[in-house]
């Protein structure tokens, strides 16, 4: 079954159920369902994590099933990694135990490392073969092998994946550690499913690639070594589960050895052994789980007499262990006979010393297997002299059912292996048939294999009886190289390196980060310009008009002065000088809109700076500027030079026609306006402007939220309720001599009127703050300026102006009123809150964007409406003006927000009367001013 | 095959809900799913004994002695 | 395309001063640096317009190439207004920083500094864990942190970990 998935990478969802997949599926599905059945009795009824566990276990079965039926390499890899992740979750079930967490992480890291290596190998093979389909790759195997080193390396890499997953040397250490998992997990993953994935891979690749260069070296050496090491270590364990764990390691080495041998007999024997192992190992693990559940411990030094308290359990365990040890007439014996036969024939045929070593190794390994199987049975069930009989709860039948079924299967197929043999046969046919086809059978006749079996059993019994002496011998050995210690060492070094690198680069200092960023920004474009052979600028002209250098000098002087300024407001002023200079340049260059806007903005920014910085003390500025002056200067100059170079190169590289050549006609005919820039903003590129409006609204809200704590200061403070001359009394002494004091008292008397002459709320200001000239001028100018701003808005479509300039002009008018009359004046001047203006502006702009849709147009499409009015004559109205009105409102709202926050609110804070905040800047109450107020009345 | 796979994964996905409803016995339900797949396997298995490719005998002998 | 040297010089100087101020510790100077960077970028955009041309006010008789390039002008207008709002925002930050902590400096990140002084010993990875021989310990006896003793189950020999 094939479903195309990622055609570009040749990845398909291809599935194939052939013999090998079917054999493994028997294990996966059959043992899986039995383990799940067993879990129902294993967990306590109220265990909260059961749901996740069951789900993960079933998903694991599904992933394994997908793995063995996948016919696409990448699909196989995906299922492989799914099983890795699920095994992490399952092993870490008791997450409150450190050993479980550590074991889970260890398994994850080791198997993922193997998996990624395998992926590299897969990609190499897929690339060489031109396809990722496993069946096709295997069919092409002979041709691929002739390609030489690439395929050999790729196969070796894939073997690394199999080796890590199946816990072979040197990756074996994760399996015993994974015994921290609940027993059902061990029974399923570590006996029947996950570790078998590696074996499956070896079995899958063996028919085609067993002749590859590194195959025999890796498979045979590692397999044999693992088998012997696992068996040796299993004899030292006192935990039933660990005996089984090391036994599994040993058996996995054995399986790899057999399946990877590469001939027909080995294929039959290997699959038989695979099935047998799956059955007996799962049985034994489940038995261990029952023992642990009922007795509360797995330590063989503590268990005693269980064969009497749970006879049925004992029988099941005995069957499983006997199958592991290879005792007739069980399935384990049948499989092992075939294995012996395979190796005997192999040794006879090859005749090399290596084959003989293999045979000897296999026999020794089997002896060790017998010994630890006996240890298992004895340790778990026998009555021990120095131990009290263990308390053992009765085993319910449903608990025992699962291992019982598996034990029964072992017995049945041991006595009658024919169906298994028939099932496996077609896999074995993948190999050339040389000699008689072998079968799994209970009785092969008096062969060398039978002799070897007898030797094995005899020696195993001997080893078991001499167990004490064996233990003593083992105690004297210490392993020179410990895989797990090396693993921990590697991880530790990795951690140290990571901390060192992070410590060096992540210093926590913004200046350092900026340095790095800017240095890279300087170096990289230069590098790119040089390497890429950028076009050199060729045409230069010094200036367009002689005024430009003059203004330029002014700008540069202003910038340098701002850098060197030793007073805060001087620096601000100098920056404004550069801003005004740039406005002049705009004007000279033929950009009237820009000049207007820049001028207005610069003024408002200057006011904003002053308002914001007035509450900061002067001494902050005097503090020594940050160090590394030279370095910073160099970086600044380098950056400036880089930008100049980039600009010049960019302009020299222009080859295409500027698109803006089409703009004038577009603006007039389609946009209906003569001011091309304005039409661009509100019509041609209206979306950009809309985004800009949202930025303005956000910034205004941001300023308000930084200054105010609650609300936006929308509560209108009416000027009526404020006492005359009470605002901003200040605490400085204006008068230093008696005459000046008398003047001041006179001014106070005259300016304390109840009704204002010029400004609405000017009387609220303290007399020493008022300036009559300023008030008069403001009164005369304000309305004209507002009218002018509306003119700019409406006329902007055809003359310099537009929404931005108009809005800024209106904002400037409000600023003047605030500066002249204080915060109450501002409150009187703006009946509408800033939030309303911002929202309204955005809404209007949004409407003008959306409404054309209702008329069958596109978003933001403008229409030209012409009509005649009786007095005014013919009027041409373009609907993009509505958008401009939205812009106007937003800009006014922004300026109003800035004034309210940086102006009014800070005023109130500094006087200590703010209704809004919980902390005041000035701690002392304004007692003096209140006394004077009493006097003035 | 895809069907079996999908069923297995889907049941795994809804398993936690089952556990919340019926507690420990949900394991029996979970056990039934791979059991059903096992039965399906046994039923369809005899028909899939086709090997992928036989080792062509005419090819040169393997490289390693 | 012909390049205006004056503009380049102005731009370079403004960028240099802006970056110099940006690398300061005092937030006020940083804001001023940002403002200068914005101005410099505006000059950069303007210079891509090429020769000084006529103001872009449409008149049917004028050839299209005679106008000053209107597209960069539109960008610059947007840029001016947005840099104004950013400046206002930063001023708000300065004020709030002053109110809350009585200083207007860019602070160092202590958490970043702490990473570098981590020790090699990670309790999760390196602590010794005693072996347990059974799964069914009551939760209160199970260890939460490494090193705490188990109440049940004596440890098997350490070789089990090999």
Q: Which residue has the higher pLDDT, B58 or A21?
A: A21
If you measure CA to CA, which chain C residue comes closest to A508? C109
Q: Answer yes or no: is pLDDT of B64 > 90.
A: no
Give A663-678 pLDDT, tens digit per residue.
888 888 888 888 999 9
- Cβ-Cβ pairs closer than 8 A, A with B, add up to 147
Asked if A761 and A806 count as a contact pair (C-beta separation under 8 A), the reply is no
Residues of A in contact with B1 (CB under 8 A): 1, 15, 17, 69
Nearest to A589 among C68, C132, C153 (CB): C68
The arithmetic mean of pLDDT across residues A851-870, rounded, is 84
Nearest to A660 among C6, C16, C70 (CB): C70
Residues of B in contact with A66 (CB under 8 A): 5
Model confidence at A833, pLDDT cuts 50, 70, 90, reads: confident
The predicted pLDDT at position C151 comes to 36
Nearest to A139 among B25, B52, B63 (CB): B52
Give, in order, the Cα–Cα distances in Å from A853 to each of A135, A706, A863, A886.
Answer: 57, 38, 12, 18
Q: Answer yes or no: is pLDDT of A371 > 70.
A: yes
- A and B in touch (3+ CB pairs within 8 angstroms): yes
* Cβ within 8 Å, pair C2-A539: yes
Residues of A in contact with B26 (CB under 8 A): 50-51, 54
Residue A170, preceding peptide bond in cis (omega within 30° of 0): yes
- Taken in order C86, C88, C89, C91, the sign of the CA dihedral is positive
The predicted pLDDT at position B51 comes to 45
Nearest to A426 among B23, B49, B63 (CB): B49
What CA–CA distance (Å, rounded) separates A398 from A40? 9
Counting other chains too, the contacts that A235-238 makes at CB distance below 8 Å and 24 or more residues apart are A235/A368, A235/A371, A235/A372, A235/A375, A235/A467, A235/A470, A235/A471, A235/A474, A236/A471, A236/A474, A236/C157, A236/C159, A236/C160, A237/C156, A237/C160, A238/A299, A238/A300, A238/A301, A238/A379, A238/C133, A238/C156, A238/C157, A238/C160
* Cβ within 8 Å, pair C126-A681: no
Backbone angles phi, psi at A878, to 5 degrees: -100, 135
**Residue from C25, C81, C125 whose CB has the most chain A CBs within 10 Å, to mutate:** C81
The predicted pLDDT at position A752 comes to 61
Give A163-221 pLDDT, tens digit per residue.
999 888 888 889 988 888 888 888 898 877 888 899 999 988 888 887 777 888 888 88
| B14 min Cα distance to partner chain A (Å) | 8
Nearest to C11 among A609, A612, A644 (CB): A644
A neighbours by CB contacts (3+ pairs under 8 Å): B, C
Give A638-653 pLDDT, tens digit per residue.
999 999 999 998 888 8
Residues contacting residue C54 through CB under 8 Å, at least 6 positions apart: A590, C62, C66, C67, C68
Give percent above pLDDT 90 in chain A: 27
Give the least confident one: A339-348, A479-488, A778-787, A833-842.
Answer: A479-488
Give, in order, the Cα–Cα distances in Å from A297 to each of A2, A243, A289, C51, C151.
Answer: 50, 14, 10, 91, 13
The predicted pLDDT at position C146 comes to 42
Give A112-162 pLDDT, tens digit per residue.
999 999 999 999 988 888 888 888 888 888 888 887 788 888 888 999 998
* Cβ within 8 Å, pair B34-A32: yes
The arithmetic mean of pLDDT across residues A524-548, rounded, is 84
Q: Which residue has the higher pLDDT, A101 or A425?
A: A101
Is A487 at the interface with chain B, CB within 8 A?
A: no
What CA–CA distance (Å, rounded) separates A100 from A90? 10
The predicted pLDDT at position C15 comes to 96
- In this prediction, the residues of chain C whose per-residue pLDDT falls under 50 are 139-162
Model confidence at A689, pLDDT cuts 50, 70, 90, reads: very high
The arithmetic mean of pLDDT across residues B46-61, rounded, is 45
Is A753 at the interface with chain C, CB within 8 A?
A: no
* Cβ within 8 Å, pair A30-B34: yes
Give A411-420 pLDDT, tens digit per residue.
888 887 777 7
The predicted pLDDT at position A712 comes to 64
Give the least confident one: A226-230, A273-277, A591-595, A749-753.
Answer: A749-753
Model confidence at B43, pLDDT cuts 50, 70, 90, reads: confident
| A786 min Cα distance to partner chain C (Å) | 20
Helix axes A568-589, A547-564, angle to 10 degrees: 160
Give, in order, the Cα–Cα distances in Å from A523 to each of A407, A645, C22.
Answer: 72, 12, 19
| Fold category of C5-52+67-107 in CATH | Helix Hairpins (1.10.287)
**Residue from A14, A17, A216 whose CB has the most chain B CBs within 10 Å, to mutate:** A17
Give the least confident one: A388-397, A461-470, C35-44.
Answer: A388-397
The arithmetic mean of pLDDT across residues A716-744, rounded, is 65
| C111 min Cα distance to partner chain A (Å) | 8
pLDDT, mean over chain A: 84
Is A936 at the interface with chain B, CB within 8 A?
A: no
The arithmetic mean of pLDDT across residues B2-22, rounded, is 87
A914: left (phi over 0), alpha (psi -120 to 50) or beta: beta
The arithmetic mean of pLDDT across residues A711-739, rounded, is 63
Where do the domains of chain C lie? 5-52+67-107
Residue in the structure block whose two tokens are 């059959």:
A30
Is B21 at the interface with chain A, CB within 8 A?
A: no
Residues of C in contact with A680 (CB under 8 A): 70-71, 73-74
What CA–CA distance (Å, rounded) separates A664 from A658? 12
Residues contacting residue A387 through CB under 8 Å, at least 6 positions apart: A301, A302, A303, A304
Tell me which residues of chain A, numbers 684 to 723, contact chain C at a CB-CB cutoff of 8 Å: 685, 688-689, 692, 695-696, 699-700, 702-703, 706-707
Where do the domains of chain A lie? 1-210, 214-465, 672-730+741-911
The predicted pLDDT at position A711 comes to 65
The predicted pLDDT at position A115 comes to 94
Tell me which residues of chain B, numbers 36 to 55, contact chain A at a CB-CB cutoff of 8 Å: 37-38, 41, 44-45, 48-55
What CA–CA distance (Å, rounded) separates C149 from C142? 9
The predicted pLDDT at position A915 comes to 54
The predicted pLDDT at position A756 comes to 65
The predicted pLDDT at position A605 comes to 95
The predicted pLDDT at position C148 comes to 38
| B15 min Cα distance to partner chain A (Å) | 5
Beta bridge partners of A902: none
A177: part of which helix (H) or strand (E)? helix A174-177
Model confidence at B48, pLDDT cuts 50, 70, 90, reads: very low
Q: Answer yes or no: is pLDDT of A892 > 90.
A: yes
Q: Answer yes or no: is pLDDT of A801 > 90.
A: no
CA dihedral A89, A94, A99, A102 (to 10 degrees): 20
Give A674-691 as a 3 state SS string: CEHHHHHHHHHCHHHHHH
What CA–CA distance (Å, rounded) separates A794 from A729? 42
What CA–CA distance (Å, rounded) separates A590 from A802? 16
The predicted pLDDT at position A181 comes to 87
Give counts: helices (H), strands (E), chain C: 5, 1
* Cβ within 8 Å, pair C52-A99: no
The arithmetic mean of pLDDT across residues A848-856, rounded, is 87
Model confidence at A526, pLDDT cuts 50, 70, 90, reads: confident
Is A357 at the interface with chain C, CB within 8 A?
A: no
Nearest to A292 among C2, C22, C135 (CB): C135
The pTM for the full model equals 0.70
The predicted pLDDT at position A751 comes to 63
Give the least confident one: A253-267, A732-746, B10-24, C55-69.
Answer: A732-746
Give, in order, the Cα–Cα distances in Å from A757 to each of A725, A751, A879.
Answer: 14, 10, 42
A898: part of which helix (H) or strand (E)? helix A880-898
With CA atoms as reference, report the closest residue to C74 among A870, A887, A490. A887
- B and C in touch (3+ CB pairs within 8 angstroms): no
Helix axes A568-589, C27-47, angle to 10 degrees: 10
Residue A917: CB atoms within 10 A of its CB come to 16
Residues of A in contact with C109 (CB under 8 A): 508-509
The predicted pLDDT at position A937 comes to 45
The predicted pLDDT at position A615 comes to 81
Model confidence at A83, pLDDT cuts 50, 70, 90, reads: very high
The predicted pLDDT at position C150 comes to 38
The predicted pLDDT at position B46 comes to 59
**A864-869/A873-878 β-pairing:** antiparallel
Give A298-351 pLDDT, tens digit per residue.
888 888 878 888 888 888 899 999 999 888 888 888 888 888 888 888 888 877
The predicted pLDDT at position C89 comes to 94
């Amino acid at each position: 079954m094939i479903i195309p998935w990622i055609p570009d990478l040749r990845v398909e969802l291809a599935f194939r159920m052939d013999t090998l997949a079917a054999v493994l599926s028997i294990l996966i599905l059959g043992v899986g369902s039995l383990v799940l059945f067993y879990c129902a009795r294993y967990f306590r009824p109220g265990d909260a994590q059961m749901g996740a566990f069951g789900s993960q276990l079933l998903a694991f079965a599904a992933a394994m099933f997908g793995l063995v039926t996948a016919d696409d390499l990448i699909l196989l890899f995906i299922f492989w990694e799914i099983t890795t992740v699920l095994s992490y979750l399952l092993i870490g079930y008791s997450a409150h135990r450190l050993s479980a967490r550590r074991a889970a992480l260890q398994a994850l890291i080791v198997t993922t490392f193997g998996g990624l290596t395998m992926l590299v190998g897969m990609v190499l093979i897929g690339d060489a073969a031109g396809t990722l389909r496993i069946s096709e790759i295997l069919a092409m195997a002979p041709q691929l092998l002739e390609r030489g080193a690439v395929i050999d390396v790729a196969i070796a890499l894939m073997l690394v994946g199999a080796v890590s997953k199946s816990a072979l040397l040197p990756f074996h250490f994760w399996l015993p550690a994974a015994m921290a998992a609940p027993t059902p997990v061990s029974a399923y993953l570590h006996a029947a499913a996950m570790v078998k994935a590696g074996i499956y891979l070896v079995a899958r690749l063996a028919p085609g690639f067993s002749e590859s260069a590194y195959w025999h070296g890796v498979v045979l050496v590692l397999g044999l070594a693992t088998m012997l090491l696992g068996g040796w270590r299993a004899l030292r364990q006192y935990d039933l589960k660990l005996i089984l764990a090391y036994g599994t390691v040993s058996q996995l080495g054995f399986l790899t050895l057999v399946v990877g041998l590469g001939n027909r007999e080995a294929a039959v024997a290997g699959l038989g052994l695979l099935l047998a192992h799956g059955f007996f190992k799962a049985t034994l693990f489940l038995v261990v789980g029952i023992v642990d559940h009922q007795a509360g411990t797995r330590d063989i030094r503590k268990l005693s007499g269980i064969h009497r308290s749970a006879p049925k359990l004992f029988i099941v365990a005995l069957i499983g262990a006997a199958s592991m040890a290879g005792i007739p007439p069980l399935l384990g014996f049948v499989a092992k006979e075939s294995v012996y036969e395979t190796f005997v024939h192999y040794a006879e045929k090859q005749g090399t010393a290596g084959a003989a070593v293999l045979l000897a190794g296999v026999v020794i390994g089997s002896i060790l297997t017998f010994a630890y199987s006996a240890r298992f049975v004895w340790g778990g069930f026998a009555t021990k002299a120095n131990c009290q009989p263990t308390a053992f709860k009765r085993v319910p039948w449903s608990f025992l059912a699962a291992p019982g079924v598996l034990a029964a299967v072992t017995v049945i197929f041991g006595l009658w292996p024919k169906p298994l043999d028939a099932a496996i046969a077609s896999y074995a046919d993948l190999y050339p048939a040389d000699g008689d086809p072998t079968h799994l059978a209970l009785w092969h006749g008096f062969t060398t294999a039978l002799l070897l079996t007898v030797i094995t059993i005899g020696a195993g019994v001997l080893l078991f009886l001499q167990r004490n002496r064996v233990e003593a011998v083992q105690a004297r050995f210490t392993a020179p190289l410990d895989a797990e210690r090396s693993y921990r060492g590697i991880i530790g070094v990795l951690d140290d390196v990571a901390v060192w690198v992070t410590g060096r680069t992540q210093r926590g200092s913004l200046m350092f980060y900026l340095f790095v960023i800017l240095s890279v920004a300087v170096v990289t474009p230069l590098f790119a310009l040089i390497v890429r052979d950028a076009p050199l600028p060729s045409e230069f002209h010094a200036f367009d008009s002689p005024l430009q250098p003059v203004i330029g000098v002014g700008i540069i002087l202003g910038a340098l002065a701002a850098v060197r300024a030793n007073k805060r407001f001087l620096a601000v002023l100098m920056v404004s000088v550069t801003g005004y200079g740039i406005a002049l340049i705009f004007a000279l260059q033929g950009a009237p809109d820009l000049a207007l806007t820049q001028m207005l903005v610069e003024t408002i920014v200057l006011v904003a700076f002053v308002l914001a910085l007035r509450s900061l003390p002067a001494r902050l500025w005097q503090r020594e500027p940050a160090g590394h002056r030279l370095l910073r200067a160099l970086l600044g100059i380098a950056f400036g030079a880089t930008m100049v170079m980039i600009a010049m190169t960019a302009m020299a590289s222009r080859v295409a026609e500027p698109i803006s050549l089409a703009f004038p006609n577009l603006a007039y005919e389609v946009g209906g306006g003569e001011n091309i820039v304005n039409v661009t903003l509100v019509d041609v590129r209206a979306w950009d402007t809309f985004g800009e409006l949202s930025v303005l609204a956000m910034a205004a809200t941001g300023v308000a939220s930084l200054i105010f704590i609650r609300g936006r200061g929308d509560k209108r403070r009416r000027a009526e309720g404020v006492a005359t001359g009470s605002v901003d009394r200040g605490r400085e002494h204006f008068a230093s001599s008696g005459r000046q004091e008398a003047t001041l008292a006179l001014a106070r008397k005259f300016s304390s009127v109840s009704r204002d002459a010029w400004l609405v709320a000017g009387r609220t200001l303290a007399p020493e703050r008022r300036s009559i000239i300023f008030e008069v001028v403001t009164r005369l100018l304000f309305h004209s300026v507002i009218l002018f701003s509306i003119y700019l808005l409406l006329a902007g479509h055809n003359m310099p102006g537009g929404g931005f300039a108009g809005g800024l002009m209106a904002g400037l008018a409000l600023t003047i009123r605030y500066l002249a009359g204080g915060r109450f004046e501002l409150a009187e001047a703006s009946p509408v809150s800033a939030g309303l203006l911002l929202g309204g502006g955005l809404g209007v702009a949004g409407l003008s964007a959306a409404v054309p849709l209702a008329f069958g147009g596109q978003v933001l499409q403008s229409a030209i409406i012409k009509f005649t009015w009786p007095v005014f004559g013919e009027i041409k109205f373009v609907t993009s003006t509505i958008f401009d009105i939205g812009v106007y409102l937003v800009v006014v709202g922004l300026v109003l927000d800035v004034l309210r926050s940086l102006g009014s609110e800070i005023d109130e804070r500094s006087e200590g009367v703010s209704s809004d905040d919980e902390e005041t800047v000035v701690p002392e109450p304004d007692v003096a001013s209140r006394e004077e107020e009493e006097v003035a009345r | 095959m895809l069907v079996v796979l999908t069923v297995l994964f889907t049941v795994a996905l809804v398993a936690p809900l089952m556990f919340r409803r019926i507690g420990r016995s949900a394991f029996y339900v979970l056990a039934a799913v791979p059991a059903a797949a096992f039965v399906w396997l046994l039923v369809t298995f005899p028909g899939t004994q086709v090997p992928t490719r036989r080792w062509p005998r005419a090819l040169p002998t393997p490289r390693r002695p | 395309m012909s390049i205006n040297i004056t503009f380049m010089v102005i731009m370079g100087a403004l960028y240099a001063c802006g970056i110099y101020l940006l690398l300061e510790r005092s937030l006020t100077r940083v804001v001023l640096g940002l403002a200068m960077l914005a101005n410099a970028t505006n000059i950069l955009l303007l210079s891509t317009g090429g020769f000084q041309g006529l103001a872009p006010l449409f008149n049917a008789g004028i050839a299209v190439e005679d106008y000053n390039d209107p597209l960069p002008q539109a960008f610059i207008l947007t840029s001016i207004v947005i840099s104004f709002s950013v400046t206002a925002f930063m001023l708000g930050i300065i004020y709030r920083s002053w109110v809350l902590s009585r200083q207007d400096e860019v602070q160092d990140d202590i958490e970043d500094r702490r990473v570098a002084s981590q020790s090699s010993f990670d309790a999760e990875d390196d602590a010794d864990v005693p072996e347990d021989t059974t799964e069914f310990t009551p939760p209160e006896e199970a260890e939460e942190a490494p090193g705490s003793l188990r109440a049940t189950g004596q440890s098997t020999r350490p070789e089990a970990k090999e």
